[in-house]
Structure 1
Amino acid sequence: MKKLDSLRAHLLASVPEIGNSPEKMEIFVDKGGVAVRAGSLSFEYSYTASVWVQDYSGSVDNLLVPILAWIAANQPDLFEKGQRKPFTFESELLDAETCDITISIDLTELVRVEQQPNGLKVTHLPEPIINDAFAGVPTGTNLWAGLIEDGAGMVEIVTR
């Protein structure tokens, strides 16, 4: 799972309190699963990544904002969900200056598996680019609501 390594590197570089004491942070998978389709070895990881920071004395904002920036680049669909809650967190106050904090992020990773002459090629696919709008389509148009099929089996998109 490549995203865990990416998240770790990002937090080490972005949060001085973690970069100066990397032993205070652990990243692990709390719950995970794999989704497949018949006839293919390609699959999708889905899991909850947990970031646990012990004895954190910095501003919680200085931890959460880099995580939001990482999500925007690495799991942008979390910003598209109706509830607009890309992660959850729990915190235990240890004293007036430090806390333990756990952040939980639901992540997915697409993995393509292809047969090659000398074996299998495994490729972790990048996140799709999510554009806010389509050229010439009014904001708020539900593009999928108007799918129709003509007599020749061709699908046409009809916006309403």
Structure 2
Amino acid sequence: MKKLTDLRAHLIASVAVIKADPSKMEVFVDKGDVAVRAGSLSFEYGYKASIWVQDFGASIDTLVAPLLAWIAANQPDLFEKGDRKPFTFESELLDAETCDITITVTLTELVRVEQLPRGLRVTHLPEPVMTDAFATVPTGTKMWAGLIDADDVPLELVTT
């Protein structure tokens, strides 16, 4: 799972206390699954990634901000969920200055599998770019109340 490796490297590079001693952080999968579609070997990984940091003595902000930056680039759909909670965390206080922190984030990875004459090509696909098709319309604007194909029910344009 490519994202797990990338996430680990990002946190080591971005969080000073982890960079100073990478052995204090473990990144692993708690639970995962693979989704497929009939007629194709391509698939999607779906898994709960856990980040466990031992003896963390810095501000948790120094861990959360780089993690959010990584999620924004690598799993942007987590920012678009209705609950606006891209991950969960737990903390166990060890003493007045340190704690163990466990962060859980749900990740997905699309994998394309192509049959070639000499074997299979497996490619981890990048996240789709989240662009707004209506750039001049403010975020949250509802363009219509519904699309109903009936002569007696007109489309209602909503501009709030």
What is the TM-score of this pair, normalised by structure 2?
0.87
Distance 1:119 1:11, change over 3 A: same
Structure 1 ranges of 4+ moved more than 4 A: 135-139
* Matched residue count: 151
Q: Deviations over 1:38-63 (max 9, x none)?
A: 00000000000000000000110000
Q: Counterpart of 1:6? A: 6
Stretches of structure 1 lacking an aligned partner (at least 5 in a row): 149-157
Stretches of structure 2 lacking an aligned partner (at least 5 in a row): 150-154
Q: Deviations over 1:14-35 (max 9, x none)?
A: 0010000000000000010000
Percent identity over paired residues: 71
**Conserved? CA contact 1:141–1:159, under 8 Å:** no
* Map 1:70-89 → 2, pairs under 5 A: 70-89=70-89
- Other structure's SS at 2:95 match: coil
Q: Counterpart of 1:141? A: 142
Give the distance between the partners of 1:138 and 1:66, measured in 2 at CA.
Answer: 28
Per the TM alignment, residue 146 of structure 1 is displaced from its structure 2 partner at its CA by 3.5
Q: Deviations over 1:108-154 (max 9, x none)?
A: 000000011111000000000112452466752368x5397xxxxxx
Q: Deviations over 1:48-89 (max 9, x none)?
A: 000000000011000011000000000000000000000000
**Conserved? CA contact 1:32–1:46, under 8 Å:** yes
Give the distance between the partners of 1:138 and 1:147, measured in 2 at CA.
Answer: 24
What is the TM-score of this pair, normalised by structure 1?
0.87
Give the distance between the partners of 1:114 and 1:159, measured in 2 at CA.
Answer: 45
